[in-house]
Amino acid sequence: MCLKFSNAKIYNHFNHDLTMKISKIVLVGLLIAIIVGTAIYYSLARQNGTISQASLIGKPIPSTLYNQLVQLSNQGYNITVTETDFRVLPENFSDNGKPAVIYVGAEWCPFCGAERWALIIVLSRFGNFSNISYMMSSSTDVYPNTPTFSFAYSSYTSKYITFIPIEYQNREGEPLNKVPTPVYNVWKEYDNLSIPFIIVAYYYQTGTTIDPGLLSGHNWTYVINELHNPNSTIYKEIYAQANMITQMICQVDGNQPMTVCSHFEQTNNQTNSPLTMVNVQRISYSSP
C-alpha cells in the first residue's frame, strides 16, 4: 500500500511539474508569438504605408492639400534671417521684364525634395501654382523616400516674378526637363552641376540649408503637421530657408508685395558689378 502510495505521490508530483513546464513553455511561446506578430504587423503596416504613399507619386495634389500649402505660406515670419548663403552673379536673369526665380533639381534628389517645401512656401507668397504633383525622392539614395513634390509639369503665375523650375531628371534618373543654355552655363560654372541650384535674378545659392533626414521616411501629412509646430526642427529649418529666399526676392522686385516684404528689412540691393541682362523663358511640358 505504501509502495502504491509512494508511486502515486511521485506520479502526481511528476505530473504537476510537467504541467508547470508545459504551461511555462506555452506562455513563453505565446509571448514570442505576440512579439513576432507585432513586429510583422508594424513592418507590414509601414510597408503598406510606403506602398500607399508611392501610389501617389506623379499624381496632381488635390486642392485641399494645395490650400494647406498656401496657408503655410502666410506664417513662419517669426524665423528671422541673420545670414544668407546667396552670392552675386554677373548675370541678371529675368523673363518678360520680371525677375526670374530659377530652380534646378531632380525628382530623385532628397536635398531637392527638402528644398521644394521651402520654395512652395516662398512662391505662394508672390503668386499661385497649378499642377504640382506628389513626389518622393529615390528609395535607393540617401534619405530615401523623402516626401516632397514635383515642379516638372507645374505652372506658376505672379504679378511680381517669374518662376522657372527645372527638374532635369525624374525619380529614376532619366532626363526630364531641359536646362536652358544660359542657366546650364551658370549652373556648371558656379555649382559644378550639383543640385539643388537656385537663382533669384542675379543672386544664386548652391545646395539647401534644410536637412532631408528630418523628412525621410515620413509622409506629407507629417511634414505639414510639423510646419504648424513652431518648436519643431522642421518648422525652423524650412521657414529659415523660405524666409531667406523671400528676402532675396524682395530685394530684386522692389519690395513687392508689401504684405510680404514688410516682414523684412526694406532694401533695394544694387551690386557694384556690371550685370549682363539674361532673358530666359521656361520650356513648358505637358503632363504624361
Q: Which residue has the cell 497649378?
A: 130
The model's confidence at residue 147, banded by pLDDT at 50, 70 and 90, is: very high
Does residue 136 register a pLDDT over 50?
A: yes
Q: Tell me the pLDDT of the chain averaged across its residues.
A: 84
Q: What is the pLDDT of residues 88-103, one digit of tens each?
A: 999 999 998 999 999 9
| pLDDT, mean of residues 229-254 | 97
State residue 35's pLDDT score: 52
State residue 248's pLDDT score: 96
State residue 283's pLDDT score: 59
Does residue 245 register a pLDDT over 90?
A: yes
State residue 267's pLDDT score: 59
State residue 273's pLDDT score: 46
What is d(CA 117, CA 227) in angstroms, rounded to the nearest whole number?
A: 10
| pLDDT, mean of residues 182-191 | 96
Does residue 7 register a pLDDT over 80?
A: no
Q: Which of residues 243 and 278 earns the better pLDDT score?
A: 243
The model's confidence at residue 181, banded by pLDDT at 50, 70 and 90, is: very high
Does residue 68 register a pLDDT over 80?
A: yes
| pLDDT, mean of residues 126-145 | 97
Question: Which helix (H) or strand (E) element contains residue 9?
Answer: helix 2-54
| pLDDT, mean of residues 148-174 | 97
State residue 276's pLDDT score: 72
What is d(CA 166, CA 153) in angstroms, rounded to the nearest whole number?
A: 10
Give the pairing of strands 155-158 and 203-206.
unpaired
DSSP per position, 69-86: HHHHHTS-TTS-------
Pick from 39-43, 186-190, 217-221, 260-264: least confident: 39-43
State residue 288's pLDDT score: 57
Q: Which of residues 26 and 137 earns the better pLDDT score?
A: 137
Pick from 18-32, 102-116, 163-177: least confident: 18-32
State residue 216's pLDDT score: 96
- What distances in angstroms separate CA 9 from CA 12, 110, 203, 219, one per listed residue? 5, 72, 94, 65
State residue 48's pLDDT score: 42
| pLDDT, mean of residues 57-68 | 96
Q: Which residues contact 132 (CB under 8 A, 6 or more apart)?
A: 60, 61, 66, 120, 149, 150, 151, 154
Does residue 25 register a pLDDT over 70?
A: no
